[in-house]
Chains A and B, each alone.
Chain A
Amino acid sequence: MKADREIDLDDAGIRLARSVFGDRTGVALFLGAVLFFALYWRIGIFSSDTYAVANTMANVADGRLYVGQVVYGPPSGVTPGMHVVEGRLYGRNFGMVFAGLPIVWLLEGLALFVDLRIALAGIWSLGLFGFLTLIGERVDLKDRAVIVGSVVALGLFALNVAVARPLPARWYPVIALQVVTMGAAGLTAVVLYRLLTRLYGGRIGVAAGVSAAVASPVGFWATFPKRHAVTAFFAVLTLYWLYRSRESTAHRTSLRFRALAYVPVGLTAWVHSAEGLVLLIALGLVDVATARWNRPLDIVVVGGALFVSLLPLFLTNYLIAGSPLQPPRLWESYGEVSQRTDGTAGGTPATTGSGSPSGTAAGGTATGGSSSSGSGGGGAGGTGIVGRVVGGLIAIGGDRVALLFSYMETSIGPLGNAERLSNTFLRSGYIQGLPRYNDRAINLSVLEAMPLFAGLAFLPAVTLEWARGRGGRDRVHAIWRWITEARTDPVRAIDAFAVIYLVLLVLLYMSRLPTHFMLTVRYLHPIYPIGLYFLARLPPIRRAVNQGGLRIAAGYGLTVAVGVPLYLGALWITGAILGEAVQLFALCSLVVGSIVAGWAVIATSRNGEGWRLAEAGAPVLGVAAGLVTVYLLVSGLGFFAYTHEYALPMSRVVAEQLLPINPLRSLF
């Protein structure tokens, strides 16, 4: 009897693991990604608008939704993103905070038995052991991998223990948030892997997953306790579930995944409601237009899933602001209130992240259009009749959509501004018009942050090729056919979803871009994993990965092996300051990006010669990927090393050794 139950439990565990990771490769990918992120895991706040989230985490862990005790940042609590409701302080990003809650508890529980610093190093080592074993299994060298794995794991554990320092308990809430973001980033890689494995087989899946973790800004934001890793993960998850729902021809399965696709909407909104709304609009449009079945019952099930996913947000909003559809960013900002009531405004927060005193510029604008919002709140006071409540919700919901659109309208102008577009997407450099004390050129453009993006140069090339052979009417017909095919082709459907989602995301944020402390245009963060999806959609890229995977991997390995010492050496010799350190990478990235673009165009040309040339040049994809890994490591341990609080003791030691290239020498 007992044995049976144990087997069941085991089975349940395996089933759970399978539903999350897919297979062993998915587990290995997740482990590898998180182990990699942990190498440059800095425990800290880094930007002035994260104080509010971290303080919320600390206070929620103490059992209150409001910030009764300011643990981080200026004691007044006047930081961007802090809000006041009925005299109490509230932060935001509650979805992340509640995800972090069990982790804080776990950490506090563990800390009763173990020295948490040692335990973290131990968990990392055991993860490495598991990772090496899984890799060994894949290449049929399991026995040897286990031996090597245990030696390496114990060796690094001993090394970490030898140089360990205490881990102050005040950091536990921040660690919990960072575990959430690292988990989300790791799962982003896993979901991409699973999606593209379904579409194009394991090689493409692995390439996309690995690229997300080590060759894109997903790896950059994995360790920052900010929303980006989480909202990007949810966007990719919706992409995946939407595909599963279109892929299946069985009504039940299709409906199940269709309903699941709406779950990330509510959860995203719980973290950042505007991004949740953007996800909902993109998903809703494409889903209803391309679903095989739109019977009333289907709509009820899908709507029910959406409603349930929104409940946590509604409940939080209701408990705090008294209205389910009044999300944090529409609450009154604490900075504004305190500025109004006393002229002193509590001084400027000490920003560890941007090293600049005035971090408030960005925070304020988030609530820009809030003046029109108060209207809906009271209207919903129904008499308990479901219809009236739902009606009220829809009315306020409509209000919110209108607010979103009025906000997006302000992005239209900037979208016509070539300079702003170019600064955001192509070349960063020094940008005129940033706030005077926040104008360091430390913000990469989208292309600089992920040079692999240049592979998309294939698209205009192939479009030109395609258009050349056709007359005007022919083209219109063909485009129309292409669009209508989205109704039957699952891949076209998610293509459409991804395009609409990214367009709306750009519309949501373009009015504020380029701005300071973006580092990798973090507002548009989901663009990177979704960009990798689009890259994998391109036949020449897939062909290169399938036929020359090993040479691409070699290009990657060589770039990392040579690039890290080269970059460090260049920084040391030139005595580069922070902006120079970032821009040196940006320029290298652009050079490699242009080669990738050239490669993509050549690979597209129809005659076989083009492809033979492209085949030989395929390792450039590995170089583009490796370049970003170099940046992640050198920035994470070198020049963006604002803290001595590395999770892994050995990382701290490396960062200390790299102080000579750390422009501000600010490890303390």
Chain B
Amino acid sequence: MERSQRLFAGTVLVVVAVSVASGPLVGAVDLTRVPAAAPPGTGSADVSVHDVPRTVVLDRAAFGAGTYHLAGPAASVQVGSVSGNPLLEYVIQIPAIGYTDINTYELRRTPGQRLELRFRPVELSPSVIDQSTYNGTIEIRLQSDKFAVLHEAPVTVEVNR
């Protein structure tokens, strides 16, 4: 056999061997393990709320995209010790336009860190936004073995046209 043919055969052989060895028939190795995680929303966490904005803005999208999305200062919380897979939810509700957004953070990734909470930039139709300010509420909730509302306060939403 020529060298190039040998190389080709060898490469094919390696690929086939690895595929079969990890397949159900041989099962010599499991190459596709998922890192195990506790079910989301369980366990426990110490979280203290630092800063929550009193005013946020609805910004008009740039580049001619035209829609509105929530922006403005982030809230910040200090995460202490974490066990299991608790979730922190940053929630804003604007009843006048029937809008609720929940951004979820997995705290097991950030024990002992200061965490900045932001809204998801969900896009709102300009046909929905007809006032210059809206009243809303911001909540910070902890989904762990028990459910807790860490913060709940009104917020003013200013429209940036």
Chain A positions near chain B (C-beta within 8 angstroms): 111-115, 117-119, 122-123, 125-126, 129, 133, 142-143, 146-147, 149-150, 153-154, 157, 161, 164-167, 429-430, 436-437, 439-441, 574-580, 582-584, 586-587, 663-665
Q: Bits for B14-45, please: 1 = Cβ < 8 Å to A, else 0.
A: 11101110111100000111100000000000
State whether B123 touches A577 (Cβ < 8 A).
yes
Chain B residues contacting A122 (CB-CB under 8 Å) are: 15-16, 18-19
B11 is an interface residue with CB less than 8 A from chain A: yes
Chain A residues contacting B71 (CB-CB under 8 Å) are: 575
Among residues of A, the one whose C-beta sits closest to the C-beta of B69 is A577
Among residues of B, the one whose C-beta sits closest to the C-beta of A119 is B19
- Supposing A430-B66, A579-B66 touch, asked if A150 and B8 sit within 8 A by C-beta, the answer is yes
Chain B residues contacting A587 (CB-CB under 8 Å) are: 63-64
- Supposing A122-B16, A143-B4 touch, asked if A580 and B63 sit within 8 A by C-beta, the answer is yes
Chain B residues contacting A580 (CB-CB under 8 Å) are: 61-63, 65
Chain B residues contacting A576 (CB-CB under 8 Å) are: 62
A129 to B9 alpha-carbon distance, docked (Å) = 11
State whether A574 touches B32 (Cβ < 8 A).
no
Partner of A111, one of B15, B24, B66, B120: B24
State whether B8 touches A113 (Cβ < 8 A).
no
Among residues of A, the one whose C-beta sits closest to the C-beta of B70 is A577
List of 8 A-B pairs having minimum Cβ-Cβ separation, nearest first:
A430-B66, A579-B65, A429-B64, A583-B63, A122-B15, A114-B23, A114-B19, A577-B121
State whether A150 touches B127 (Cβ < 8 A).
no
State whether B63 touches A150 (Cβ < 8 A).
no
Partner of B65, one of A114, A118, A161, A582: A582
A430 to B67 alpha-carbon distance, docked (Å) = 7
- Can you name 21 A-B pairs with beta carbons within 8 Å? A113-B25, A114-B22, A122-B18, A126-B15, A133-B8, A150-B7, A150-B8, A161-B18, A164-B32, A430-B64, A430-B65, A430-B66, A436-B125, A440-B67, A441-B67, A575-B71, A579-B63, A579-B66, A580-B61, A586-B64, A664-B122
- Supposing A113-B23, A429-B64, A429-B66 touch, asked if A146 and B123 sit within 8 A by C-beta, the answer is no
Chain B residues contacting A663 (CB-CB under 8 Å) are: 120-121
Interface residues of B in 110-136 (CB under 8 A from A): 120-123, 125-128
In the complex, besides A149-B11, A157-B15, A164-B31, 19 extra interface pairs with C-beta distance below 8 angstroms are A113-B19, A114-B20, A115-B32, A118-B18, A122-B15, A125-B11, A147-B7, A150-B10, A154-B11, A161-B18, A166-B33, A429-B64, A430-B61, A436-B127, A440-B65, A575-B71, A577-B123, A579-B123, A583-B64
A609 to B126 alpha-carbon distance, docked (Å) = 50
Among residues of B, the one whose C-beta sits closest to the C-beta of A582 is B65
B12 is an interface residue with CB less than 8 A from chain A: yes
Min CB–CB distance B64 → chain A (angstroms): 4
Chain A residues contacting B120 (CB-CB under 8 Å) are: 663-665
Min CB–CB distance B157 → chain A (angstroms): 17
Partner of B34, one of A146, A166, A440: A166
A663 to B59 alpha-carbon distance, docked (Å) = 14
State whether B65 touches A441 (Cβ < 8 A).
yes
Min CB–CB distance B7 → chain A (angstroms): 5
Chain B positions near chain A (C-beta within 8 angstroms): 3-4, 7-8, 10-12, 14-16, 18-20, 22-25, 31-34, 61-67, 69, 71, 120-123, 125-128
- Supposing A112-B24, A125-B15, A154-B14 touch, asked if A436 and B31 sit within 8 A by C-beta, the answer is no
A123 to B12 alpha-carbon distance, docked (Å) = 9
- Supposing A430-B126, A580-B61, A664-B121 touch, asked if A113 and B14 sit within 8 A by C-beta, the answer is no
Chain B residues contacting A437 (CB-CB under 8 Å) are: 125
A154 to B121 alpha-carbon distance, docked (Å) = 41
A447 to B82 alpha-carbon distance, docked (Å) = 51
Min CB–CB distance B106 → chain A (angstroms): 10
A580 to B67 alpha-carbon distance, docked (Å) = 9
Q: Which of B7, B23, B61, B65 has the most CB of A within 10 A?
A: B65
A167 to B71 alpha-carbon distance, docked (Å) = 37
A119 to B31 alpha-carbon distance, docked (Å) = 11
State whether A439 touches B125 (Cβ < 8 A).
yes
- Supposing A439-B125, A440-B65, A664-B120 touch, asked if A115 and B10 sit within 8 A by C-beta, the answer is no
Min CB–CB distance A658 → chain B (angstroms): 16
Chain A residues contacting B3 (CB-CB under 8 Å) are: 143, 146
Chain A residues contacting B14 (CB-CB under 8 Å) are: 154, 157
A586 to B14 alpha-carbon distance, docked (Å) = 44
Min CB–CB distance B101 → chain A (angstroms): 11
A436 to B22 alpha-carbon distance, docked (Å) = 49
Min CB–CB distance B30 → chain A (angstroms): 8
State whether B128 touches A436 (Cβ < 8 A).
yes
Chain A residues contacting B123 (CB-CB under 8 Å) are: 440, 577-579
State whether B62 touches A574 (Cβ < 8 A).
yes
A24 to B71 alpha-carbon distance, docked (Å) = 54
A167 to B22 alpha-carbon distance, docked (Å) = 13
Among residues of A, the one whose C-beta sits closest to the C-beta of B35 is A165
Q: Which of A115, A117, A575 has the most CB of B within 10 A?
A: A115
Min CB–CB distance A431 → chain B (angstroms): 8
State whether A146 touches B4 (Cβ < 8 A).
yes
A243 to B64 alpha-carbon distance, docked (Å) = 43
Chain A residues contacting B20 (CB-CB under 8 Å) are: 113-114
Among residues of A, the one whose C-beta sits closest to the C-beta of B127 is A436
State whether A115 touches B65 (Cβ < 8 A).
no
State whether B32 touches A167 (Cβ < 8 A).
yes
Min CB–CB distance B60 → chain A (angstroms): 10
